[in-house]
Structure 1
Amino acid sequence: MVELTLDRIVNLAGDWTDGSRASEQFREIIEDEQTTTEEIEAYLQEAINGSEPYHNKALQDLVNNFGRRLGFEIEYGVYQGRSDTIGYDGHWISTATDDDTHLVVETKTNTAYSIDPGQAGEYMAQFVDEHEVNREQVYGLYVIGEGDVETVSQTVLGSQYRDRMRVITAQRLLDLLEIQEDSGLRHDQVVDVLLPINAVDVGQLVGLVQDVIEFRARRLICHHPYSGTGDTVSGGLRR
C-alpha cells in the first residue's frame, strides 16, 4: 500500500517543478528497488485519476520508470519546455542491438485534446541532429494515460511517422513490465514488442502476449496430474 501519496508529497515538499524537491523525492521512491510493481500501479492510478498539474508530471516520471524497469537506460525529460533542451518527456536507450536504439517518449494523460504526431516527430529530428545518430535508430513512443488510443494510432498511421512511431497506454506498458517479471522476458524481446514492424498500437501486442501466457497457464493447471481435476488416491493413482 502506498502511504506517501502524490498529494502528500506536494504538501510536504512544495511545488512539483523541474529540479524541485517534490520531483526528486518521487523519483527516489519509484527508483527504489524495494518499491513493488503493485505500489507503482497505485501511483499510476492516482496520477491518471488526478486533475492537478503535478499528476501529469508524476505520470511522466512513472512512464520513464517503467522504461527503466524494462531494461532501458533512461533520461528524464523536462516538465516545462525550454529553449536550451529538447522538449521530450523522456529518452530511452536500448543497447540490445548492434547500434543503440533510441526512444523519444511523449506522455499524455488522456486524449481529450487531439494529439499531433508532429510534436514528437520534431523532437526526434532534433535528437538526430544534436546527437548525430542515424535516423533509423530513433523511434517515437506515445504513452497514453487513458482515452481513445485507436484514434491516436490512426492519426499516426496517416502521418509521415507511421514507420517510426508507436502508441501504447500506460497500463499496457505496466502489463508488459509484469509479463517480464513473471515470465523472464528478455530486454531484447521487450524491444521487439514495443517496436514491431507494421504495427502502431503496440498495446494490442502486449494484450496478445498476456492472453497467450494466461491461456498456457490455464492449460498447465488443467492437465497437471495433481491439479484436482480428477479423482485420485494416495500416490496419484486414479480410481
Structure 2
Amino acid sequence: MPLLDFWKSRPDEFQSRTVQQIVVFAGDGKLRDDSATCAEFREFLDQVDSDSLIRYAEQCLEQPFPESGFVLQDIVNQIGKRLGFDVKFGRYRGVSNEVGHDGLWRASGGIALVTEVKTTSAYQISLDTSVSYRRKLIEQGSISELGSSILYVVGRSATSDFESQVRGSRHAWDIRLIGVDALARLLKLRESMDDPAILERVRSILRPNEYTRVDGIIDLVFTTTNEATKDEQFVIEEEIDETVKKFTPVNFREACFARLSKHVGTPLMKRSVAIHSSADGLLGVYCAMSRAHPNASGNGYWFGFHPGQRDALSLFEHAHVAFACGSEEQIILIPFSTFEPWLSTLNQTILEGRHYWHVKFEEANGVWTNVPKADFPRRDVTEFLLRE
C-alpha cells in the first residue's frame, strides 16, 4: 500500500511513529534520487501538518539515522514551500553534469535562494561549493545574479564558527544563515497571517540584507504582530447596544476544515489561521466562524472579512469562502469569484488602520440569506449551504 494511502487509512497510528519508521513505508524504504520512495515521501510531507513537520525535523537532529540528512533536506524544502516559495527539490547525492544544490527556492520579482541544508556546522563547510552551484544556475539562465543568494539551513544552534567563516569570506554578501528551529518558527508565524504583502516581508529576511538602518525589521515585527493579534480567532458581531461591539471567542475551525476537506475530496493544509489549501496550491479555502444570535425570525451570524484575506484568496486558481454558522454542521460555502463582488455591498469598519467587511447571514425556516447594506436587497444563499 502506498505511504499516503496507508497514512489516510490509519492517521492515528502515524502520530506515534518516527519519521525513520515512516520512510520505511514508502516505496522500498530506501531514499534514492528519482525513486518511488522519494516521490511517496515528498507527497506525504505535502499533506501533514506543520507540527508534524517540525517534529520530524527534530527527530532527524536529535535521533540521527543513516538517511536522516536526506529526510531533513526534504523537510526543509517542504517548509520553504509553505513559506510561499516555488521550490525545486535538489538531489540527495550529486552527479556529474547536474547542479548539486539541496533546493532552489523562487519567489516573485525574480528572487531565488540556492538552499543548502547542513545537520551541523561543527566542521569546515566549503562555501565555494554552494557558490559554484549558484554560479552554474546563473550561467544556465535559471536565476539572475542580482536576484539570487545562498541560504544555509543549519540543524545545530552552535554556529558561531560558521558565521565567522561566512563573514570572513569574499562571499559574505551573497550568503544567509538560519537554524532549522528558527525556520520552523518562521513557518508558524506565516501560519498566523493571511496578508500576502506581510508574507513577502517575512520571506525577505531570508535574503542577505544590510542592517545599518533597522526600520525594515521594526516594521516587520510591528505588522506581523498586528496581523497575528487581529480578530482572527474572534467573531465580529453585531453592535448589541449600538455603541459596544462584542467579541466572542469561538474556535471550531479545525472541525470545519476536516469537513471541508472531505467535501472537496482532498486534504486541506494550513497556510494561515483562516486559509487552508490543497497540496498543489491550486485550491484555497477561507473559513470564518460565528456563534448563533437568536432574533425574532430565526438566527443571525456575524463575520469579519479582511482585505488581506481577499488578496490571499485571489492568488489561488480556485478559491472559496466558508462561513461556519454556530458549528461545523452548518457551513455556507461560496466560490470566491461569486463572493468577491458582494464586498462593495457590505458594511465596513475602517478605524485606526483596521479595515474589514461585515458579513452577515440570517436563517429563518430553513432559508438562508446574506444581509448587505440597507439599500441593497438580501441574497438567498440557501444553495450554498454545505450538505452531505
Query: Which interval holds the TM-score relative to the shorter structure?
Result: 0.7 to 0.9
Report if aligned partners of 1:2, 1:42 keep a CA contact under 8 Å in 2. Answer: no
- In 2, Cα distance between the equivalents of 1:154 and 1:181? 32
User: Of residues 6, 9, 17 in structure 1, which corresponds to 2:32?
Assistant: 17
Contact 1:112 1:147 in 2 (8 A): no
> CA deviation digits over 1:121-175, x for unaligned, max 9?
1111111111264311110000001142222122111111111110000110110
Displacement of 1:46 = 1.1
Q: Does 1:49 align with 2:62?
A: yes
Q: 1:71 maps to which residue?
A: 84
Deviations 1:186-214 (A, max 9, x none): 33212321124226xxxxx7xx949x949
**Deviation for aligned residue 1:21:** 2.9
Secondary structure (helix, strand or coil) at the match of 2:115 reads: strand
Structure 1 length-normalised TM: 0.77
Query: Which structure has the highest helix share of the two?
Result: 1
Displacement of 1:7: 2.2
Question: Relative contact order (C-alpha < 8 Å, sep 6+): which is higher?
Answer: 1
Selected match of 1:2 from 5, 8, 15: 15
> Per-residue CA shift, 1:15-67, capped at 9, x if unaligned?
111122332222111111xx211111111111112332311001000110111
Residue identity in the other structure for 1:192? S
Alignment of 1:1-239 (within 5 A): 2-12=15-25, 13-32=28-47, 35-95=48-108, 97=109, 100-131=110-141, 133-184=143-194, 186-198=198-210, 209=221, 213=225
Q: Distance in 2 between matches of 1:115 and 1:209?
A: 32
Contact 2:153 2:177 (C-alpha < 8 Å) held by counterparts = yes
Question: Following the alignment from structure 2 to structure 1, what is the Cα–Cα distance between the partners of residues 24 and 80?
Answer: 28
Q: Distance in 1 between matches of 2:84 and 2:142?
A: 24
Conservation of the 8 A alpha-carbon contact between 2:122 and 2:159: no
Decide whether the 8 Å contact of 1:18 with 1:79 is kept in 2: yes
Distance 2:113 2:86 in 1: 10
2-side partners of 1:21 and 1:46: how far apart? 23
Identity over aligned residues, as a percent? 27
Distance 1:61 1:128, change over 3 A: same
Q: Secondary structure at the match of 2:44?
A: helix
Distance 1:123 1:53 in 2: 25
Match of 2:244 in 1: none
**C-alpha separation in 1, matches of 2:194 and 2:124:** 37
How far apart, in 1, do the equivalents of 2:221 and 2:15 lie?
A: 29
SS at match of 1:120: helix
Q: 1:149 to 1:22 in 2, by over 3 A?
A: same
Distance in 1, matches of 2:30 and 2:142, equals: 36
Give the conservation status (yes or no) of the 8 Å contact 1:152–1:167.
Answer: no
The code of the aligned residue for 1:11 comes to: V
The match for 1:232 is none
1:107 counterpart SS class: strand
Length-normalised TM-score, structure 2: 0.49
Output the amino acid matched with 1:89: D
Cα RMSD, aligned residues only: 2.6
